[in-house]
Amino acid sequence: MDHNRNAGRNWALPGMSSVSHIAKPLARAINIYRSMTRHDLDRRTQRELARHIKEMAEQGTHDPGRLTVHGLSYLRARERQSKERKR
């Protein structure tokens, strides 16, 4: 009997993105943002960014490059909102 026959399978439900599908675009968006702004994202913002990228993937965006761009756009919009609130 082969106990490892399910090893490596993606068990995400249909229509749901797996963590591995969004991990690279998430890491890439965080790294690009960090290099541009010269500061790290707090844990809350990282979680919200992951949620946003996951939602985009669930809505049909599957290209990692596009997911990264969506993530960067999300972070930029958050930054603008934060600056507007401080005025």
Residue 50 covered by a domain: yes
- The angle at the Cα of 51, spanning 72 to 27, to the nearest 5 degrees, equals 50
In whole angstroms, give the CA distance from residue 27 to residue 83: 24
DSSP type of residue 13:
P
Residue 7 covered by a domain: no
Residue 9 covered by a domain: no
Residue 10 covered by a domain: no
pLDDT for 24-83, tens place per residue?
999 999 999 999 999 999 999 999 999 999 999 999 999 999 999 999 999 999 999 988
Q: Is the pLDDT of residue 14 over 90?
A: no
Residue 2 covered by a domain: no
Residue 6 covered by a domain: no
**What residues make up the domain containing 35?**
19-86
Residue 8 covered by a domain: no
Count up the domains in the chain and report the number.
Answer: 1
**Cα dihedral value 28, 68, 40, 55, nearest 10:** -120
Residue 4 covered by a domain: no
